[in-house]
């Protein structure tokens, strides 16, 4: 494709010019040259309500198997260990809490917990798992919070949001002063890099099975920009602990994690190439 023919759009976050970066599974992904936001370019006309309905109906069948298999439990334990090193046990909100396994672990550790989740089947599951109505069915925008939270978590949820910046703005109002925001998400800088290399090597059909791209594939650069724009000025962003899976996959993830962490520390925390990211910051 000639450079002049590359489709362009306006970035939905900062309104700078965004260009088509790559296409996968029939979906075009655009990337903003200014703030580094990546987004699905075929969903521009989609209403928030449509996205909400999609999650209401499809999320459980598409994504819940990962949670139900127990393969994510070690991630939840790790996240609570990290949080509890930073802050005392108190009131926690998990946004996009799915079937409630993270909240169950938090409850068992004595946290006063609540969740928000658009998928009705996931909310029903979480209600049974948690032994009560601790999960609000809906989105963060219509979550009727009373009081403020010590901790708000977004565990592999922000990239699914209809507008991640609205969620960060809302979370800022839900956190106590000094309250902790914790985000885990895929590192789309790495996933996009690997996928684009694989196209050149004609290995894209294999690599497309391994990479993850949601509505907003999040890069470290965009996350830093977004959080700073909403007043989180001292953001701690690093490679996440690898998730579970079968033995060969776990071995591969551990090897990648060792390489990524070595580069992270050698570059004085500037190069972040792990498959997933962990972001932590206190509300001023
Ligand atoms: Zn932008």
Give domain status of residue 13, yes or no. Answer: no
Please give the distance, rounded to the nearest whole angstrom, from the Cα atom of residue 251 to the centre of ligand 1.
Answer: 36
Give domain status of residue 143, yes or no. Answer: yes
b/e per residue, 120-131, with b = 16+ CB within 10 A? ebbbebbeebbe
Determine the Cα–Cα distance for residues 170 and 199; give it in Å rounded to an integer.
39
The per-residue pLDDT string of the chain (284 residues; one tens digit each, 9 = 90 and over) reads 555 666 788 999 999 999 999 888 888 999 999 999 999 888 755 545 555 566 666 666 666 666 666 667 889 999 999 999 999 999 999 999 999 999 999 999 999 999 999 888 999 999 999 999 999 999 898 898 877 999 999 999 998 888 899 999 999 999 999 999 999 998 988 888 888 888 888 878 877 777 777 789 999 999 999 999 999 988 889 998 877 666 677 777 788 888 989 999 898 888 888 888 999 999 98
Q: What is the pLDDT of residue 74?
A: 87
Place of tokens 């969740």: 115
Q: What is the pLDDT of residue 171?
A: 95
Please give the distance, rounded to the nearest whole angstrom, from the Cα atom of residue 252 to the centre of ligand 1.
Answer: 33
Angle between helices 120-130 and 48-68 (to 10 degrees): 50
Q: Please, are residues 175 and 281 in contact by the beta-carbon 8 Å criterion?
A: no
**Residue-range definition of the domain harbouring residue 261:** 61-186+218-282
Phi, psi of 268 (to 5 degrees): 55, 50
Give domain status of residue 44, yes or no. Answer: no
Closest to 274 (Cα-Cα) out of 260, 284, 262: 260
Please give the distance, rounded to the nearest whole angstrom, from the Cα atom of residue 138 to the centre of ligand 1.
Answer: 27
Give domain status of residue 8, yes or no. Answer: no
Please give the distance, rounded to the nearest whole angstrom, from the Cα atom of residue 191 to the centre of ligand 1.
Answer: 19
Please give the distance, rounded to the nearest whole angstrom, from the Cα atom of residue 10 to the centre of ligand 1.
Answer: 8
Q: 233-275 pLDDT, tens per residue?
A: 888 899 988 776 666 777 777 888 889 899 998 988 888 888 8
Give domain status of residue 49, yes or no. Answer: no
- CA 267-270-276 angle, to 5 degrees, is 110
Using DSSP's 3-state secondary structure scheme, residue 214 falls into coil
Determine the Cα–Cα distance for residues 84 and 66; give it in Å rounded to an integer.
25
Determine the Cα–Cα distance for residues 222 and 30; give it in Å rounded to an integer.
13
Determine the Cα–Cα distance for residues 125 and 120; give it in Å rounded to an integer.
9
Give domain status of residue 55, yes or no. Answer: no
Could you tell me the two tokens for 116?
A: 């928000």
Contacts of 276 (CB under 8 A, 6+ apart): 156, 184, 185, 186, 187, 239, 240, 242, 243
Give domain status of residue 19, yes or no. Answer: no
Which CATH number fits the domain that encloses residue 97? 3.40.50.150
Which residues fall inside 5 Å of ion ligand 1, going by CB?
11, 13-14, 16, 32, 34-35, 37
Beta bridge partners of 95: 116, 154
Domain count, the chain: 1
Q: Please, are residues 237 and 279 in contact by the beta-carbon 8 Å criterion?
A: yes
Give domain status of residue 140, yes or no. Answer: yes
Q: Please, are residues 39 and 215 in contact by the beta-carbon 8 Å criterion?
A: yes
């Amino acid at each position: 494709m000639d450079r002049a023919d590359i489709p362009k759009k306006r970035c939905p976050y900062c309104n700078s010019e965004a260009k088509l970066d790559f296409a996968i599974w029939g979906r075009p992904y655009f990337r903003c040259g200014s703030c580094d936001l990546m987004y699905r370019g075929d969903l521009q006309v989609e209403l928030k309500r449509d996205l909400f309905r999609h999650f209401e109906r499809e999320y459980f069948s598409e994504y819940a198997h990962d949670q139900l298999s127990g393969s994510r439990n070690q991630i939840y334990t790790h996240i609570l260990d990290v949080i509890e090193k930073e802050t005392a046990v108190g009131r926690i909100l998990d946004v996009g809490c799915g079937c409630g396994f993270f909240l169950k672990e938090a409850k068992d550790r004595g946290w006063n917990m609540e969740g928000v989740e658009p998928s009705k089947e996931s909310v029903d599951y979480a209600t049974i798992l948690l032994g009560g109505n601790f999960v609000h069915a809906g989105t963060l925008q219509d979550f009727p919070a009373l009081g403020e939270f010590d901790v708000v978590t977004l565990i592999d949820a922000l990239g699914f949001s209809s507008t991640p910046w609205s969620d960060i703005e809302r979370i800022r109002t839900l956190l106590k002063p000094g309250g902790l925001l914790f985000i885990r998400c895929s590192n789309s800088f790495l996933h996009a890099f690997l996928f684009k290399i694989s196209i050149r090597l004609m290995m894209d059909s294999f690599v497309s099975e391994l990479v993850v791209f949601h509505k907003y594939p999040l890069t470290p650069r965009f996350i830093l920009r977004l959080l700073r724009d909403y007043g989180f000025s001292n953001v701690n962003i690093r490679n996440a602990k690898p998730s579970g899976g079968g033995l060969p996959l776990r071995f591969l993830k551990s090897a990648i994690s060792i390489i990524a962490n070595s580069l992270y520390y050698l570059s004085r925390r500037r190069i972040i190439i792990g498959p997933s990211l962990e972001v932590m910051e206190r509300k001023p």
